[in-house]
Amino acid sequence: MRKLIVSTSNMGKLREIQKYLASLPWQLQLKPKELEIEETGATFMENACLKASLVAKATGEWAIADDSGLMVDALDGAPGLYSARYGKTDKERIERLLRELGETENRKAQFICAVAIARSDGSIALQIEGICHGEITHQERGEGGFGYDPIFYVPTQQQTFAEMKPELKSKLSHRGKAFEKLIPQLRSLAAIG
């Protein structure tokens, strides 16, 4: 079984990725804690590739990284790359976003997740992007999820991410769509090497 280093120190993210990749012959492991990576890319994909490549080079193993965020049309794509830094807490980030949108009629938004896999030499083997289109509600709805989930509404389901059952959110989300595309390709890579 080939080792795949997950470019995060977050156990929650490791568990989430393990769920997506459970059927594959890869042994997932957290990156070394002392390995800090500054996200200097101009896009989600650049950041994912940067993290995967640096972790692969540092560990000598294959690595996987993702970068994701929320882009709101009426805010020219904000919060975008700064989604996690739009406030100190989820509550502050949501309040700021709703305040900046105000009563704007155009509430269209999209969650984007970029995933990159790097070979042990740091070269990028795979790049996949998943996008979930939706709208921003005027107020929070639902108790589940995290981050912007209570205000991200998916019209086809008539629910916010926070109102959805975890299995449904996992399937429809930007991360779910990215991993759905990634799994067959990652399975092929495991078979080759």
Instruction: With a cut of 90, say whether residue 75 has pLDDT above it.
Output: yes
- Whether residue 111 contacts residue 83, with contact meaning beta carbons closer than 8 Å, is answered with no
Catalytic residue numbers read: 67
pLDDT at position 191 is 65
Segment 177-185 mean pLDDT:
93
Domain count, the chain: 1
pTM of the model: 0.91
Please report, for the domain that includes residue 79, its CATH number.
Answer: 3.90.950.10
Domain that holds residue 92: 2-192
The arithmetic mean of pLDDT across residues 129-140, rounded, is 97
- Spatial distance between the Cα atoms of 170 and 143, rounded to a whole number of angstroms: 16
